[in-house]
Amino acid sequence: MSARDVGLPEHVPAGTGYPDEVTIWEVGARDGLQNEQEVVPVELKLEFLHRLAAAGLRIVETTSFVHPKWVPQLADAEQVLDGLHRADGVRYPVLVPNERGLDRALAAHVSDLAVFASATETFARRNLNSGLDSQFDMFEPVTSRARAAGARLRGYLSMCFGDPWEGPVPARQVVRVGQRLLALGCEQLSLGDTVGVATPGQVALLLDEFLAAGVELDSLAVHFHDTYGQALANTLTALGKGVRTVDSSAGGLGGCPYAESATGNLATEDLVWMLDGMGIEHGVDLDSLVDTSVWMARRLGRPSPSRVVRALAG
């Protein structure tokens, strides 16, 4: 079954305040595959990346230059980038956790980079071997060198709503850490609900706090996990507040290898279905994307967690 066969209703805008167009930041090839138990072969990753771009996604996060000891699934970053056929008009960002990762990225001629920070002390120590404030000692040389090299830079901020060790995270703490990332030169800050505990009220509160601190919502993105089934509701809230970039993962792949309670990311297909129904432009062909996620699910040996993929694939 295809999206066309379902007979979608006429686009019905959900009300004023929503954007006319949304940028989908596809994270399936990096954030999605990094949590797999078995290493996915390079050839399979490359076909996945090529299929995602062919489906109309304009930003396809590709890999991470993290140490292979910590995320062995991404130890093949150089091979993936070397074999990648870059489609015109498509960005292929990579994650760089530290200066060593930056060295590898620059050697691979990558100029679209992201750093990964924590909004809480405990997760910073567990994930980055650093503290909430001292993590910036690691980020500063990375961001300054990246800017000097002319690279685009994004900042990921994890545990923005809840931390399994610390509980609910104060919004003002998240804003303080996020502002420091933006001050280092990040063009965009992605707010991560790493363990999927956020609800729409929390999302609205955090975005209001960023606005009150003078941060433009155009510089923010959202990154929700669907642990408690709230990812789409949280995304809708963020869009209503003025956020225009949403992270999602084809087929709902992924989680966080450092947070055991984290389940899959918001599925790109579920997001696209909602945006289509609201008449919000995004540029993605849903049928092609569903075919891609069905193809990948078969190769991973399990069904896709995306409700839209399951519905359309029959």
Residues forming the active site:
256
Q: Do strands 245-248 and 167-168 pair parallel, antiparallel, or not at all (unpaired)?
A: unpaired
End-to-end CA distance of the chain: 6
Q: Which one, of 260, 258, 267, 226, lies nearest residue 118 by Cα?
A: 258
Q: Count Cβ atoms within 10 A of the Cβ of residue 13 and give its class: 0-12 exposed, 13-18 middle, 19 or more buried.
A: exposed
Distance CA 59, CA 244 (A): 14
Q: Which one, of 79, 84, 82, lies nearest residue 68 by Cα?
A: 79
List of long-range contacts for 252-255, beta carbons under 8 Å, 24+ apart: 252/226, 252/304, 252/305, 252/306, 252/309, 253/28, 253/31, 253/32, 253/33, 253/35, 253/296, 253/304, 254/27, 254/28, 254/31, 254/32, 254/33, 254/34, 254/35, 254/225, 255/35, 255/225
Tokens encoding 71: 């995320």
Distance CA 34, CA 32 (A): 6
| Strand ranges for the chain from DSSP E | 23-26, 59-60, 63-64, 94-95, 112-118, 152-158, 162-163, 167-168, 188-193, 220-224, 245-248
